[in-house]
Chains A and B, each alone.
Chain A
């Protein structure tokens, strides 16, 4: 084990070798016996650990839970009884919220649909047709209704046969 790897492990796992990966402990112990640099780093880490452990005890306000807090926390079951058998956690407080959400989604869909296909579009089409003259309407009917009664352009048109060519 190199000193560099040793100090890396020291930073990651503290000076308590029991917290180190088991596979690294033996090599670390051997290095400590031979390297002054590793030993110094180990001592420094130990001081930092000692200071870290002591700090909260001296810091004002890190006392045990007060009796008032303990009572408030302990009384949670009295204030908020559990609903037994509940398996699925529902994020809403009651059923009206999702129902409102569904209704809002439907209304939103209707609104967007109305924007995309306004009712006036059909009227506009009708108006466009009514502006055609009688001759134009007849021509349109000929195109739409073939003489044999079939609807639309005949298959021959699409096949490009000579018989249907003008």
Chain B
């Protein structure tokens, strides 16, 4: 879990990697590959592409370990690399405007309060998450799933803390709008 990372232990580990210590690098991989892979997959929606991004992330970490700054957690640094790689791919794949467009979430006829406990509704939440605008999805994923603080997510996204709070708030409101019509069959308005 990224939140459990020890800052004091991270700096020597990264120093060892910068000196070419393959064992230290392996420790880094063991501690963070899973989280980076999941984050990339949540952003890209493709397991295959997420694996490529994860591999490239650790290659860059190995090659540029000396650029790590010990005032940040290694997890934040790795998420930043992975985020930039994933966003590059998203922008090559489709224009920014298209990536911000929301598609319809699979609906259902049952009330949300009941459905939230059911597997299909949980899958609908995931589908809605994948349809959020790129930056909202990234901000929500970093703070909710990846365990980063708002300040750390701000570093990854290259924005201010206020902007992260705004992105997360809009993401949550959009998710509510997308999921609210599950019972009525109507679609709510989505904030960009």
Candidates B47, B121, B166; contact of A12 at CB < 8 Å: B166
Most chain B beta-carbon contacts within 10 A, residue among A59, A82, A86: A82
Query: Known contacts A56-B42, A56-B145, A89-B64; is A73 also within 8 Å of B58 by CB?
Result: yes
Closest partner residue, chain A, to B24 (CB atom): A77
Q: Which of B25-33, B69-77, B88-96 contacts A (4 or more CB under 8 A)?
A: B25-33
| Set of chain A residues within 8 Å of B105, measured between Cβ atoms | none
A-side interface mostly: helix
Q: A48 near B172 (CB under 8 angstroms)?
A: yes
Residues of B within 8 Å of A, CB-based: how many? 50
The smallest C-beta distance from B110 to any residue of chain A, in angstroms, reads 14
Residues of A within 8 Å of B, CB-based: how many? 40
* CB interface residues, B 14-39, toward A, < 8 Å: 18-20, 22, 25-26, 29, 33-34, 37-38
Known contacts A14-B172, A58-B126, A65-B54; 4 further A-B pairs (Cβ under 8 A): A12-B166, A49-B144, A76-B25, A77-B20
Can you list 14 residue pairs at the A/B interface with Cβ under 8 Å? A11-B173, A13-B168, A14-B143, A45-B172, A50-B116, A51-B116, A62-B41, A73-B33, A74-B29, A76-B62, A80-B62, A82-B20, A82-B62, A82-B63
B residues contacting A by CB (< 8 A) are: 18-20, 22, 25-26, 29, 33-34, 37-38, 41-42, 47, 51, 54-55, 58-59, 62-67, 113, 116, 119, 121-123, 125-126, 129, 140, 143-145, 149-150, 165-166, 168-170, 172-173, 175-176, 179
